[in-house]
Amino acid sequence: MTNLRLTEKDPHAPIRYQYAIEQVLYRGKSPYQEFAVVTNPFFGRMLILDGVVQLTEKDEFFYHEMMAHVALHAIESPKRVIVIGGGDGGVVREVLKHPTIEQVHLVDIDPEVTRISREFFPTVSSGLDDPRVIHAPMDGAMFMRQYEGQADAIIVDSTDIIGFATSLFTSDFFDNAKAILGKNGVYITLSESLHFHFEMVRDVQKTMASIFPHVDLYTAPIATYGGNWWCFAVGTNGVDIREPVRKTVENTRYYCEEVHKTAFLPDFLYKRLMDEERTYF
């Protein structure tokens, strides 16, 4: 056990998170970000990008299951999925649990994320060698501009809405996504904390609503993400995804039909979120 501590400070939040570090397993840097893999007595191994916790062995399944299964259970027979970001492989692992999946494009600008996940997080990266997975180490916005096929779901598992990730939250990006999705397709993106990024969450909803005929928002408890009450923005070409349309996959640790139905904001809270005069509920 060391005396090291990781202190994480979100500029938009009034709190700080501090983690005890037992061991530093890896430190490195790519052209895009700095990396660390450390161990914590409660969370186990933790992946840190630019000083911010991205995933932990203990609780990663909450995030990855909710990112993948809410979208895919709203589609009768999903076959083609695009994952933007998510180079660690957690979302891909969950997508592959759906038996109808034929192809998954994994598009992450930084291949170092995948390398580190393969080495230090084998249970997260376990699906990356599946022959249905096509790796595209490139900018997600560029991929979407160039892609000529269709997809049943597009899942954006990005870092926070800063730096190179901001290109994944523009109206142009959403417009490209809408064109790629079929009429029953579903778009999902990370959308920050309702506690500490209230106006940012609203801005993403408004931008998406200018492109997609139907938008929505659902949440999940993520212990290591600032504010804990994390949310995911939904865009479709008209489909309401609040109800699963088929039997849910069984080999999950958190996601289930009941969780799916109760994850969405009630209408009265959603209306408060979209009220420009509010800065909180």
Range of the domain at 239: 60-273
30 and 121 co-located in one domain:
no
Q: What is the CATH number of the domain that holds 48?
A: 2.30.140.10
- The stretches in the chain having pLDDT less than 50 are none
CA 79 to each of CA 44, 46, 86, 196, 212: distance values in angstroms, whole numbers, following the listed order: 34, 32, 19, 36, 21
279 located within any domain: no
C-alpha 38/C-alpha 265 separation (Å) is 35
278 located within any domain: no
Given a contact cutoff of 8 angstroms between Cβ atoms, the answer to whether 168 and 205 are in contact is no
Beta pairing, strands 229-236 & 214-221? antiparallel
What does the block give as tokens for 169? Answer: 């939250």
Total structural domains within the chain: 2
Q: List Cβ neighbours of 249 (8 Å cut-off, separation of 6 or more).
A: 69, 73, 97, 98, 255
Backbone angles phi, psi at 91, to 5 degrees: -65, -40
30 and 43 co-located in one domain:
yes
- Residue 158's pLDDT is 87
178 and 269 co-located in one domain:
yes
Residue type, 197: H
109 and 242 co-located in one domain:
yes
- Residue 166's pLDDT is 82
C-alpha 68/C-alpha 256 separation (Å) is 12
- Residue 182's pLDDT is 86
Tell me the pLDDT tens digit for each residue of 157-216. Answer: 987 666 667 889 999 999 999 999 989 999 999 999 999 999 999 999 999 999 999 999
- Residue 13's pLDDT is 84
52 and 106 co-located in one domain:
no
Q: Which of 10, 88, 110, 157 is catalytic?
A: 157
Q: List Cβ neighbours of 81 (8 Å cut-off, separation of 6 or more).
A: 72, 95, 101, 103, 104, 105, 151, 152, 153, 154, 155
59 is catalytic: no
11 and 105 co-located in one domain:
no
73 and 31 co-located in one domain:
no
51 and 64 co-located in one domain:
no
176 and 38 co-located in one domain:
no
Domain end point (choices 15, 41, 56) = 56
